[in-house]
Amino acid sequence: MSAHPDGTRSGRRRSWAERQALAARLTARIAAREAELAGMLRDAMHHPGRVGLDLLLHPNELHPFVPGPLVHPAPATPEPQTGQAGHGLLGRLTRRRPPSTLVEREWARVQADQVAADHQRQLALAAARRAHTERARVLREQLREEHAGVRQLAARIASGAPDAVQDYFGRVLRCSPWPVGLPRAALALRYQRAARRLLVSWPLPPREVIPSAAAFRPDRGRRGVAAVSRSESDFRTRYTHLLAAIALRVARDLFAADHDRLLTGVVVNGELSRHNPMSGRDDRVPLVSLATERADFERTISTGDPVSWLETLDGVVSPDPEEPVRPLVDLPPRAEPPPAGGVTTDVARLSADAFAQLSRRLWVAAGLRGWTPRDTDAGQVVATGELPTGGGWDRCLVVVRRDHGPSPEHAVEPVVAAARELRADRAVLATTTWFPLATHRAASRDAPVLDLVEGDALRGMALRHLGIALTGVLPD
């Protein structure tokens, strides 16, 4: 005989009252899980707790023990009315007799099962408490060992060192409490010091994190309960809301931990790991993307629908877990150190012709064919050509700007207009510095496809394709 999820045996026949009680217990567990996932962002906003270096430096302030549904005993099954016991002394004497009728025997069985189930719950609760205590002990020991390192890290954070800032915010995100089953650590972080912006690639849980059953009901075979399947539309709605809440929660944790005001903006790209049977590898599929400035985030804070809040910030989330979205800002690859004694080029000091020549070499080495100059001056280079795609070649407009400070937001409009006039399939707008987040959000809505390439990505392209270390561009 197989064991039921609540620990009882599923092979014997059960009374209606027993099946009702079992279904109510399992449904209550599902409701508790749904409430935990749905309230994840709201609870974090209402109860922020300790964040940042305060959390890292004070090991006694750890996450509280949250037992979840284990803390609540199962609801008691009402005593059946046998019709044999009356009121007064005769009734009380009758109810004290040993069970003799079928209903009374079923009632005794239900009570015994409830006692056994509650005993199992108490054992599970005690085991969870012991596991939490052990995890807290290990974390305290790790924090004590890292105390000196954390204080050194604080000094390097104040100086704005990118690796220290990335290390700090990575630790903060790992220490933030999340519901069971949700990832707790970033896949990658990139800090752009000049733009004062942190880019985060965050892993997403699979859709199976949403309970597949919406409820349980007594079955007709008198042996247990049957699951009420969740509709596909309900599945997608709940999963979409969860993805939006995760992106907003990551941004909220980062801004809350930024005591030194290192960040004016945060980018969160949520990616789901999915096996690709064609390549045999796991692909990372973007399903949610958020690019927001601190002022906009704090001005629009909402504890209601996370999808509405995300859309207010011009974020994007896929309504279908099978359909990826286009990230608002792509994370540049991690910068590689230039080879010792290699070629170094200061972009800011190049003449207009030298800058145009460097741009041509860079894009041709990256795969563009048919480079045709359209316009060149000291501030930018404009050319057309063809870039390879999965099924052929796209006619492309390439614009490379040499900016000082952030590239102006109005730089996008003429590029899009020129791409449409030339009937290009796509356009690339590159800058030696960086684009405001508003420009990234606007570019994601333009047609044809507009790719934005910032200074750190330019430096990576030059080092990878030409072996040249560029200076005078956006530092990492």
Report helix angle 162-175 to 232-257, nearest 10: 130
The predicted model gives 46-60 an average pLDDT of 58
Pure H helices in 258-368: 294-299, 306-312, 352-365
In the three-class reduction of DSSP (H, G, I as helix; E, B as strand; rest coil), residue 3 is classed as: strand
Residue 105 has pLDDT above 90, yes or no: no
Residue 67: closest CA among 142, 141, 133: 133
Residue 367: closest CA among 350, 389, 348, 351: 389
The predicted model gives 314-320 an average pLDDT of 93
The predicted model gives 157-177 an average pLDDT of 85
The one-letter amino acid code at 255 reads F
In the three-class reduction of DSSP (H, G, I as helix; E, B as strand; rest coil), residue 400 is classed as: strand
pLDDT of residue 431: 94
Bridge partners of 265? 197, 293
Structural domain boundaries of the chain?
16-76+83-317, 343-471
Confidence category of residue 200, pLDDT binned at 50, 70, 90:
very high
Residue 205 has pLDDT above 50, yes or no: yes
pLDDT of residue 48: 62
Residue 285 DSSP symbol: E
The predicted model gives 329-355 an average pLDDT of 81
- Give the pTM: 0.75
47 vs 65: CA distance, rounded Å: 15
Residue 312 DSSP symbol: H
Confidence category of residue 182, pLDDT binned at 50, 70, 90:
very high
**Tokens describing residue 31:** 């409701």
Residue 9 DSSP symbol: B
Q: 343-471, which class in CATH?
A: alpha beta
244 vs 287: CA distance, rounded Å: 9
- Phi first, then psi: give them for residue 424, nearest 5 degrees: -75, 150
Residue 409 DSSP symbol: G
pLDDT digits (tens, 9 = 90+) for 117-148: 888 888 888 888 888 888 877 776 666 666 66
pLDDT digits (tens, 9 = 90+) for 243-296: 999 999 999 999 988 888 899 999 999 999 988 777 778 889 999 999 999 999
Tokens 């449409």 — which residue? 420
Query: Which range scores top for mean pLDDT: 217-231, 268-282, 290-304?
Result: 290-304
pLDDT of residue 375: 85
Range name among 4-18, 60-74, 348-362, 398-412 with the lowest pLDDT average? 4-18
Tokens 């030409």 — which residue? 466
Q: What percent of the chain has pLDDT over 90?
A: 40
pLDDT digits (tens, 9 = 90+) for 356-412: 999 999 999 999 999 999 988 878 999 999 998 877 899 999 999 999 889 998 888
Confidence category of residue 106, pLDDT binned at 50, 70, 90:
confident
Residues in Cβ contact with 219 at an 8 Å cutoff, skipping those fewer than 6 apart: 19, 225, 226
pLDDT of residue 285: 93
Whether the bond between 448 and the residue before it is cis, its omega within 30 degrees of 0, is: yes
pLDDT digits (tens, 9 = 90+) for 247-258: 999 999 999 888
